[in-house]
Amino acid sequence: MKKYLISGIALLLASCAGTGNLGSDSRTDQSETQVYDLRAPLKVPDIATLKETSARKLVAKYVKSEWSKLPGWADDDAQELWLGMYNNCRGLMRPVSGSLTIPARATPRAWHSVCSKVATMGPAVDGQVAKKFIQTELQPWAVFTSKNTSKGTVTGYYEPVVKGSRVYGGSYQWPMYSVPSDLITVDLGSVYPELTGKRVRGKIKGSKLVPYDTREQFTSRNSKDQSKVIVYLDDPVEAFFLQVQGSGRVLLPDGKSLRLAYADHNGRPYSSIGKWLADKGELPISKASMQNIKAWAAHNPSRIPEMLNSNQALVFFREEPISDAIVGPKGAYGIPLIAKRAIAVDPTVVPLGSPVYLSTTMPASKSALRRVVFAQDTGAAIKGIARADFYWGSGPEAGQLAGRMKQDGFMWILWPKNSGQPSAR
């Protein structure tokens, strides 16, 4: 899931004064794109096929801990987390490519024995059996900075559910575009190794590569070309925030639904529409919530294009079918997210695919939120020790929880015993 413009809705709305850089490429455009059928049996390849590649550098300090020191572990729903474990092994058992242009992944060979046993046990296991297995097979490692601090920040994100139509008309006026054929992406790391992971986007003009169209330029140029439009949404602010999240479910007039999944972007820098409204004296920065921005748009329909075009960035999507209403969009790890069991992380701290024990609190609350989650996503603002973005699921309720979440948190990576400390490839 490409939570691309700013990760963490609470940070998006509360820190509207900042700008992001869409060229950071921190999400699924750098990850493998293979899709896994969650209902299919877990297949574990022979370990010989999981080739060894060079270790990736991790920046955290890992301190061996004990299960008894994980607050709330005894209360976690073992059957629920087991399904997450079972499906996470699908990603862990993929051979690594060795490419440095994709986020660091948990070392597959370290997980081969554990995932082989998980495959044998199957997707449905008694809760007590599951907990005993996890405690027997995995070792908790507390995540610390080099200065021996472990407290970090946990925000939240979600998948919006919006109304749309494949046909323009009535309230369905706001197009969501597929990737244009003239968009060119250049991987700078292929030329300059020190720029690994950095990309530029543009289009050919004459004999030169020039910056790609801004949002305003693109929409103006394609206003009468419906071939690039996947669907039209009925709300401009919802359309904008769907681009922020990078994925969303669209409910069509016939009752069917589809998923818009992040595919690419125009390479232009992101600018907050909340900051634009504040700079124009339309809304105090502290009041620039989604609800208030919607209210402003309803009272100022003629200025909606002006507001949207103040942000040059534009995200392009691809359409994906929804085969299981419970399963969320794919994260940067290429595995569909399960609500309340997935987090976005900094992969230089927590390698993608790692199970993590997360200890934090509920949004705007002191009530404990403690559980095993899986590092299956990344984000431009998700950087540093114990920095995580908690995936709440789909729809308005998930959005409200995500929007209020900015809590202290602690993390323990759960790593196979006898495999040393956490490592990445």
| Beta-bridge partners for 419 | none
Amino acid at 351: P
Q: ∠ at Cα 413 (412, 414), nearest 5°?
A: 110
Quote the pTM value: 0.81
Q: Specify the residue for token string 């402003």.
A: 296
Looking at residue 352, what DSSP letter applies? B
Measured in degrees and rounded to the nearest 5, phi and psi for residue 161 equal -120, 120
**pLDDT surpassing 50 at residue 320:** yes
Domains of the chain: 9-157+327-416 (2.40.40.10), 161-270+299-320 (2.40.240.50)
Q: Could you tell me the pLDDT band of residue 37, with boundaries at 50, 70 and 90? A: low
How confident is the model at residue 1, as a pLDDT?
A: 63
What's the rounded Cα separation, in Å, for the pair 152 and 148? 12
What's the rounded Cα separation, in Å, for the pair 66 and 106? 21
| Beta-bridge partners for 141 | 64, 413
CA distances from 307 to 164, 176, 242, 278, 339 (A): 21, 17, 16, 11, 32
Measured in degrees and rounded to the nearest 5, phi and psi for residue 41 equal -60, 145
Which of these ranges, 25-39, 276-290, 337-351, has the smallest mean pLDDT? 25-39
Amino acid at 110: A
Q: Token pair of 243, please?
A: 């681009």
Average pLDDT over residues 32-47: 72
Q: How far does CA 29 lie from the centroid of its chain?
A: 11
Name the packing angle between helices 108-121 and 127-137 (round to 10°): 160
| Inter-residue contact 247 to 315 (CB < 8 Å) | no
Contacts of 40 (CB under 8 A, 6+ apart): none
